[in-house]
Amino acid sequence: MNRTLLVGILFLLLLTIDWYIFRGVKSLIKDWSSTNQTIITLIYWAVPVICILLFFITYYLLVDKLSFQTKSIIASFVLIIYLSKFITAFLFIMGDIAVLIKKTYTSIHQIFSNSTDQEDSVVSESSNQLTRSAFITKAALAIGATHIGAMSWGIISGAYDYRIRRVPLILPNLPKQFNGLKLIQISDIHSGSFYNKTAVEGGVDMLLREKPDLVFFTGDLVNNKTEELNADYFNIFKRVRAPLGVYSVLGNHDYGDYTQWPSQDAKMQNLKDLAEAHRLMGWNLLFDENKHITVDRESIGILGIQNWGAGFAQYGDLNNALKGAENYSTKLLLSHDPSHWRSQVLGNTNIDASFAGHTHGMQYGVEIGDFKWSPVQWRYKEWAGLYKQESQQLYVNRGYGFLGYPGRVGILPEITVFELKKA
């Protein structure tokens, strides 16, 4: 199926949703003056027209002339409008199903009832049902409008609202020399998405104020191309240093798999340039290998593999990363995609703790105390926070940056501060 046909089907679906919701709007304004009804109608249908025009201008007429940030903002405008409309339409459908069930019940009841009182009761129930239908319409529209506000606020406030998360990491085999060591993890920088250099630098300042002994970066430094890490952001992130080093791995976006290249050589050169950027920042980029860090003649192993994800590119080779690591009492693994932990690490190795990112918590969800929810949990069993099974652990960082939607709702950008503790 070609792209034009897919786009046409998509727009037909969206316009159907617009029409379905407009029916509800019309029911609420039916008693207004004809002038006001006309104004509301014009305003309502102006929005989908604007969305369609923006789409064609962005992805057909000016596709090569607009910056990634501009495209993201335009795409987010359309996303916010129609995701909110999907929610509204879903609530309408639930309301219509409830009305249909009630009407079916009353019709059957009327057929088998000969009582005048019962008939009067049916009339009364029908009147009440109309009231409830109007309430559902108003509630659904209010929830949709609130969602638009929440996602807009997620762009204004959530994208750079960095949060320090403190996590005690208990490791039974940890040498006593490492007890109390402060390890910081960041992930998913996606430098090509940023539009506020000052805020990004503020996040790095927060990290450095923690005075880490060791730093892990678990992949996706860029969206597609090394050039996204321009001089401004390169100079910001090269400040991330620690006495015991900064260790990093590649994420699925770092390989340039999601953009077109003039040749395979150009794509490979981009990856080499990215590896060189890690080196120039003073970060130790691990390609399916392990290193050790030593404190007072005791060592632990730091392992890092290239991206390996269920449903994504599987470049990493864990067996190579484990070679020569047999004698480390404690093994810490950097692996971008959390699905790798359950697929290859858990129960198959003696790796003590793994560190991942990738999910971003979908940049959308709810976290209240110990309760957390995001649609991404339908795709990933482990998607945010610390997970334990028997003697092995995984921590999934919610990400430092963002991709696509240039904001965050509920799931805020994270700097994780671990204190290593011997059990």
For the chain, give the percent of residues with pLDDT over 70.
95
pLDDT in tens, 98-125: 878 888 888 887 787 755 454 455 444 4
Domains of the chain: 3-157 (no CATH), 164-422 (3.60.21)
pLDDT tens digits for range 153-183: 999 999 999 999 999 999 999 999 999 999 9
Quickly state the pLDDT bin for 130 (edges 50, 70, 90).
very low
Q: How far apart are CA 4 and CA 10, in angstroms?
A: 10
Q: How many helices (H) and strands (E) does the chain have?
A: 9, 14
What average pLDDT does this structure show over 124-135? 54
pLDDT per residue as tens digits for the range 184-222: 999 999 999 999 999 999 999 999 999 999 999 999 999
pTM for the structure as a whole: 0.86
Q: Which of 245-249, 292-296, 336-340 has the lowest mean pLDDT?
A: 292-296
Distance CA 387, CA 385 (A): 7
